[in-house]
Amino acid sequence: MTIPLGELKLIELEKTFIAKPNEIILNKLVSHFSSVENFNKCASLTQFYLLFDYGNANQWYNFSYYLKKCNSYQKSINSYKISLSFDIEHPEEVYLNIAVIYTDFLNSHDAARVALLKAIECNPSYIPALYNLANLYEDIGEKKLALTQLKRILQIDNRYIEAAIRVVNIDTSLTKNNNLITQLSKNFGNSQFIPQINAEIGYALGHFFDRNHDYATAFKYFKQANYYNGKYLPVYNENEYENYIDSIINLYNSDYFENFPVISTKSVTFICGMFRSGSTLIEQILNGHSKLQSGGELEFYLRFFEDNRLNYPYDTINLSQNVMLKHANDYIDYLRERFTSITGVIDKRPDNFIYLGLIKAMFPNAKFIHTVRQKEDNALSIYFLQLGNKMTYSTQLDNINHYYEQHFRLMEHWKRLFPNNIHTVHYEDVIKNPTHSITNTLAFLDCEWEDDCLNFFNRPTVIKTASVWQVRQPLYSKSVNRYKNYKY
């Protein structure tokens, strides 16, 4: 554990470093500033040191990391490349880091693939690069290539359980007697695994048995998976969450918006609602329109609160007009960094429904598509997946149902305030009558019908959500009333 330096000691140490740059002192300083998450300071100190020791590959590597933490992604990549030019040890790690920036932050999957292949060229047995390459192939819908990388990993290390889990999730041709199914079944609940791994195994086996229509066995695994998942997630508190929604409704009320100044005239589009409510399907259908493009689950607002240490809604309700304008421009810059053109970009982060009022204050012309799915189906679909650490409600059906109701309560509030800026799309309507439903949605976005919208399943596109394989199929109805297969 890093113990932060005392203030006087820190000032003295920094003066000594500036007067005579020294790598030992630099490491002490950045260790301190990293511990308090002041990565801008880490970057500036390391950059200063590199003026005097330009050929230090390891410090260029460190500088790249700090730049990434400061959201300076292209500069981080450039710095990593400089470290490679000075023959840094383990270049495969550098190429992997470059690939992660390209995929996670710059929406440049072709460049990421090149970097990953470089990493594997440096070290053909480097499992992290092989695993990330499998992820990338899955995101772009190349199932065979993804499976090839995963099976290659298992040839290198047959105990690499994460690869076995992914194969079971992807390969729908597996049968109950397959060695991987047997292996995972035997390993499930192993006390040597952390709860997260046991949860991943349980979800994978649950999906396997669900695919094979053995719903009783599937539910048994899903239930146990959620038990393990709940072991490392914070407890979901119904009263706390209700109070949180109350605070948003009370603060972002009609009085707040009545005389609110225009911050930005930019027109931006969001898809929001519950996770697993059909948002990826809607996004991919709309992505077929010549005036629209998929943005994916952008994390700008999630990181906005973390990076600025803002407690929403209490700290955001009184932001000045200038600060709001800066953050609105930051969002537009965020889009420009990721997309060749930002025209028609659809930001599909479902839980942006929580921040809808703040977004509307920044962008008065913003439009929101609210995806809605039948409650029981939506709840089970969430229960059957390992969602992120912030989805604390996701491991118990009662909690999911409570969250679902609170989500509706907040959305009804937003719809009362902004009836012309929110359009509701029901998943079941899209399945039953897609042309009618999508025509109405396109009209809301001031777009006319285009036939290619319903050709979404044949389109080469990047999908980084749990629906990656479902939306690569034509529309199907088996997910409607799916809950009837389960008695719980």
Task: Establish if 64 belongs to a structural domain.
Answer: no
Question: Residues 247, 214: one domain?
Answer: no
Q: What is the DSSP string of 333-394?
A: HHHHHH-S--TTEEE--GGGGGGHHHHHHH-TT-EEEEEE--HHHHHHHHHTS---TT-GGG
Task: Establish if 446 belongs to a structural domain.
Answer: yes
Boundary of a domain, candidates 177, 204, 232: 232
The SS3 of residue 270 is: strand
Question: Residues 224, 319: one domain?
Answer: no
pLDDT at residue number 168: 96
Boundary of a domain, candidates 180, 212, 232: 232
CATH number for position 479: 3.40.50.300
Contacts of 399 (CB under 8 A, 6+ apart): 236, 238, 392, 393
Tell how strand 269-273 and strand 293-294 pair up: unpaired
Task: Establish if 51 belongs to a structural domain.
Answer: no
Task: Establish if 313 belongs to a structural domain.
Answer: yes
Task: Establish if 134 belongs to a structural domain.
Answer: no
Question: Residues 249, 222: one domain?
Answer: no
Question: Residues 179, 267: one domain?
Answer: no
Question: Residues 379, 442: one domain?
Answer: yes
CA distance 439 to 430: 10
Task: Establish if 207 belongs to a structural domain.
Answer: yes
Residue 272 one-letter amino acid = C
Question: Residues 289, 406: one domain?
Answer: yes
pLDDT at residue number 463: 58
Question: Residues 371, 471: one domain?
Answer: yes
pLDDT at residue number 137: 94
Q: How would you write the pLDDT of the chain (488 residues) with one tens digit per residue?
A: 454 567 888 889 999 999 999 999 999 999 999 999 999 999 999 999 999 999 999 999 999 999 999 999 999 999 999 999 999 999 999 999 999 999 999 989 999 999 999 999 999 999 999 999 999 999 888 999 999 999 999 999 999 999 999 999 999 999 999 999 999 999 999 988 999 999 999 999 999 999 999 999 999 999 999 999 999 899 999 999 999 999 999 999 999 998 888 889 999 999 999 999 999 999 999 999 999 999 999 989 988 888 788 899 999 999 999 999 999 999 999 999 888 899 999 999 999 999 999 999 999 999 999 999 999 999 999 999 998 888 999 999 999 999 999 999 999 999 999 999 999 999 999 999 999 999 999 999 999 999 999 887 766 666 556 555 565 566 667 788 899 999 76
Name the residue among 354, 398, 389, 386 with its Cα closest to residue 238. Answer: 398
Max distance between CA atoms of the chain, in angstroms, equals 73
Question: Residues 453, 374: one domain?
Answer: yes
Domain interval for residue 169 = 158-232
422-426 sheet: strands from edge to edge: 293-294, 345-347, 269-273, 367-372, 422-426
Question: Residues 181, 245: one domain?
Answer: no
Task: Establish if 189 belongs to a structural domain.
Answer: yes
Boundary of a domain, candidates 210, 232, 254: 232
Question: Residues 257, 227: one domain?
Answer: no
- Cα angle 199, 200, 201; round to 5: 90
Question: Residues 277, 295: one domain?
Answer: yes
Name the residue among 346, 355, 363 with its Cα closest to residue 304. Answer: 355
Name the residue among 174, 176, 111, 123 with its Cα closest to residue 147. Answer: 174
Question: Residues 352, 448: one domain?
Answer: yes
Structure tokens at 229: 């998942």
Task: Establish if 63 belongs to a structural domain.
Answer: no
Domain count, the chain: 2
User: What is the value of pTM for the model shown?
Assistant: 0.87
The SS3 of residue 294 is: strand
How many helices, marked H, and strands, marked E, lie in the chain?
23, 5
